[in-house]
A and B are shown apart, each in its own frame.
Chain A
Amino acid sequence: MFDWIDKGGVLAPLLDGVVSGTALTLAASACAFAIGLALGIVLLLARISSIAPLRALVVLWVSLLRGTPALIHMLIAYYMVPALLDISISPLTAGIAALACNTSAYIVEILRGALGTMSHGQRAAGYAMGMRPWQVWRYVLLPQMIYRSIPPLTSEFTILLKASSLMSIIAVPELATVARNAGLQTDLPLQVFTITAAVYFVILFLISAASRVCEGRVARMLPHGH
Chain B
Amino acid sequence: MAIDFSVVREAIPPLIDGLRITALVNVVGIPIGIAAGIAAAYAAQSRTLLRPVALAYVELVRNIPYLILVYLSFFGLPKLGVQASAMQVAIICTAFYTGGYFCEILRAALRSVPRGQTHAAFSLGMTFWQAQRLVIAPQLFRFVTPPTTSLVIMMFKDSSIFSVMSLPEMTYQSNLLTANTFAYVEVLGTTALIYWICSVLLAGVGRRVESVIGRRARHA
B71 at the A/B interface (Cβ < 8 Å)?
yes
Q: Are B67 and A165 in contact (CB under 8 A)?
A: yes
**Can you list 30 contacts pairing A with B, beta carbon distance less than 8 Å?**
A68-B199, A69-B157, A69-B195, A70-B157, A71-B163, A71-B171, A72-B171, A75-B171, A76-B188, A79-B178, A83-B184, A83-B185, A158-B63, A165-B66, A166-B161, A176-B65, A176-B68, A188-B79, A190-B75, A190-B76, A190-B79, A190-B80, A193-B76, A196-B68, A197-B64, A200-B64, A201-B59, A201-B64, A204-B63, A205-B59
Q: Are B185 and A68 in contact (CB under 8 A)?
A: no
Q: Are A72 and B68 in contact (CB under 8 A)?
A: no
Task: Using C-beta atoms within 8 Å of the partner chain, give the interface range for chain A.
Answer: 35 or more
Chain B binder among A7-15, A59-67, A135-143: A59-67
The 8 closest A-B pairs by CB, nearest first: A189-B75, A67-B199, A193-B72, A69-B160, A204-B63, A165-B65, A69-B157, A67-B196
Interface residues of A (CB under 8 A from B): 63-64, 66-72, 75-76, 79-80, 83-84, 86, 158, 162-163, 165-166, 168-169, 176, 179-180, 183, 188-190, 193-194, 196-197, 200-201, 204-205, 208
Provide the main secondary structure of the chain A interface: helix
B86 at the A/B interface (Cβ < 8 Å)?
no
B200 at the A/B interface (Cβ < 8 Å)?
yes
Interface residues of B (CB under 8 A from A): 1, 59-60, 62-69, 71-72, 75-76, 79-80, 153, 157-158, 160-161, 163-164, 171, 174-175, 178, 184-185, 188-189, 191-192, 195-196, 198-200, 203
Give the complex CA separation of A205 and B60 in angstroms.
9
Give the complex CA separation of A75 and B178 in angstroms.
10
Q: How far is the CB of B35 from chain A (nearest CB, A)?
A: 24
Q: Are A69 and B67 in contact (CB under 8 A)?
A: no
Q: Which residue of B lies closest to A79 (CB)?
A: B184
Give the complex CA separation of A79 and B192 in angstroms.
13
Q: Are B67 and A183 in contact (CB under 8 A)?
A: no
Q: Are A200 and B80 in contact (CB under 8 A)?
A: no
Q: How far is the CB of B126 from chain A (nearest CB, A)?
A: 36
> What is the number of contacts between chain A and chain B, taking CB atoms within 8 Å?
116
Chain A residues lying within 8 Å of B196, measured Cβ to Cβ, are 63-64, 67-68
| With contact pairs A71-B171, A72-B171 given, residues A189 and B76 touching in the complex (Cβ less than 8 Å) | yes
Give the complex CA separation of A68 and B157 in angstroms.
6
Chain A residues lying within 8 Å of B76, measured Cβ to Cβ, are 189-190, 193-194
Give the complex CA separation of A77 and B122 in angstroms.
58
Q: Are A189 and B72 in contact (CB under 8 A)?
A: yes
Q: Are B65 and A162 in contact (CB under 8 A)?
A: yes
Chain A residues lying within 8 Å of B60, measured Cβ to Cβ, are 201
Give the complex CA separation of A165 and B185 in angstroms.
24
Q: Are A80 and B188 in contact (CB under 8 A)?
A: yes
Chain B residues lying within 8 Å of A208, measured Cβ to Cβ, are 62-63
Chain A residues lying within 8 Å of B1, measured Cβ to Cβ, are 83-84, 86
Q: Are A193 and B75 in contact (CB under 8 A)?
A: yes
Q: Which residue of B lies closest to A168 (CB)?
A: B67
Q: How far is the CB of B75 from chain A (nearest CB, A)?
A: 3
Q: How far is the CB of B55 from chain A (nearest CB, A)?
A: 13
Chain A residues lying within 8 Å of B161, measured Cβ to Cβ, are 69, 71, 166
Give the complex CA separation of A179 and B199 in angstroms.
31
In-complex Cβ contact of A72 among B66, B153, B192, B203 (8 A): B192
In-complex Cβ contact of A75 among B62, B66, B71, B188 (8 A): B188
Q: Which residue of A lies closest to B75 (CB)?
A: A189
Chain A residues lying within 8 Å of B72, measured Cβ to Cβ, are 189-190, 193-194, 197
Q: How far is the CB of B107 from chain A (nearest CB, A)?
A: 16
Give the complex CA separation of A200 and B60 in angstroms.
10
Give the complex CA separation of A201 and B62 in angstroms.
9
Chain A residues lying within 8 Å of B163, measured Cβ to Cβ, are 71
| Known interface pairs A63-B196, A176-B65; 7 further A-B residue pairs with C-beta atoms within 8 A, sorted by A's residue number | A68-B192, A72-B171, A193-B71, A193-B72, A193-B75, A200-B65, A208-B62
